[in-house]
């Protein structure tokens, strides 16, 4: 009887620890997604407005609408997304936004993460920079796209999901090398695309495909 009670207690403790680990890991993934999605959406929107001469925009409402479209492209999770635009000025290249993701933990409780970012576009700093596209595909479907300054490190997107399969890595289309993710240095919460433990530095337009097993 004592052994049965002890076994039950151990089982309950193990289940509790497992649930806590899932909750913490799930929140970390959501936070990383919020940081990456907001950063890329703002950069994409401001770059389009300030660099492209054929970009047609009439007012700040169009500016914000383009940002929201870019944000939806960068967000893959099924969480509820609340967006607060704190400041927007397309003429001066200013965009300040706070997003909050609300989601359900595995135990059914509601959780949330938030991220706020303000960016002021510097025309002088951008004039001599070259940008490259890094595209991530799941089969033939575009899963995520980043427009990055040549010579910079590339964020790694949230791993995609496929029914009955487990995501293993990303594979470069050009040379078939496999890549994973490593945590950025300092206080940055992003994860960077890495090959053999070294951050991948963008030097050209790049395509990668998800590998499942």
Q: Is the pLDDT of residue 57 over 80?
A: no
Beta strands in 55-124 (DSSP E): 80-89, 94-104, 110-120
Q: For the domain 129-213, what is the CATH code? A: 2.60.40.4270
Sequence-distant contacts of 48-54: CB under 8 A, at least 24 apart: 49/90, 49/93, 49/121, 50/93, 50/121, 50/123, 50/126, 51/126
Average pLDDT for 1-20: 55
212 pLDDT band, cuts 50/70/90, is very high
- The arithmetic mean of pLDDT across residues 49-78, rounded, is 72
Residue range 88-116, pLDDT digits in tens: 887 777 888 888 888 777 777 788 888 88
Q: Where do you find CATH 2.60.40.4270 in the chain?
A: 129-213
Summarised one tens digit per residue, pLDDT across range 170-201 is 999 988 999 988 887 765 556 789 999 899 99
Q: How far is CA 97 from CA 2, 104, 114, 186, 212, in A?
A: 58, 23, 11, 23, 35
Distance CA 106, CA 104 (A): 7
pTM of this structure? 0.52
93: region left, alpha or beta (phi > 0 left; psi from -120 to 50 alpha): left
C-alpha 209/C-alpha 191 separation (Å) is 18
In sign, the C-alpha dihedral spanning 63, 68, 69, 74 is positive
């Amino acid at each position: 009887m004592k052994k049965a009670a002890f076994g039950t207690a151990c089982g309950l403790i193990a289940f509790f620890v497992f649930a806590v680990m899932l909750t913490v890991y799930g929140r970390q993934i959501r936070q990383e997604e919020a940081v990456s999605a907001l950063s890329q959406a703002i950069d994409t929107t401001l770059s389009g407005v300030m660099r492209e001469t054929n970009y047609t925009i009439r007012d700040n409402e169009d500016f914000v609408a383009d940002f929201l479209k870019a944000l939806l492209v960068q967000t893959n999770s099924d969480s509820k997304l609340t967006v607060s635009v704190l400041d927007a000025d397309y003429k001066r290249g200013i965009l300040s936004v706070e997003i909050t993701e609300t989601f359900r933990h595995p135990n059914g409780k509601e959780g949330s993460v938030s991220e706020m970012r303000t960016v002021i576009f510097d025309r002088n700093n951008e004039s001599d920079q070259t940008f490259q596209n890094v595209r991530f595909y799941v089969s033939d479907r575009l899963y995520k796209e980043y427009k990055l300054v040549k010579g910079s490190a590339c964020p790694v997107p949230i791993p995609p999901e496929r029914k009955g399969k487990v995501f293993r890595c990303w594979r470069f289309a050009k040379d078939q090398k496999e890549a994973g993710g490593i945590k950025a240095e300092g206080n940055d919460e992003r994860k960077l695309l890495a090959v053999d433990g070294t951050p991948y530095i963008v030097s050209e337009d790049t395509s990668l495909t998800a590998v499942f097993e």
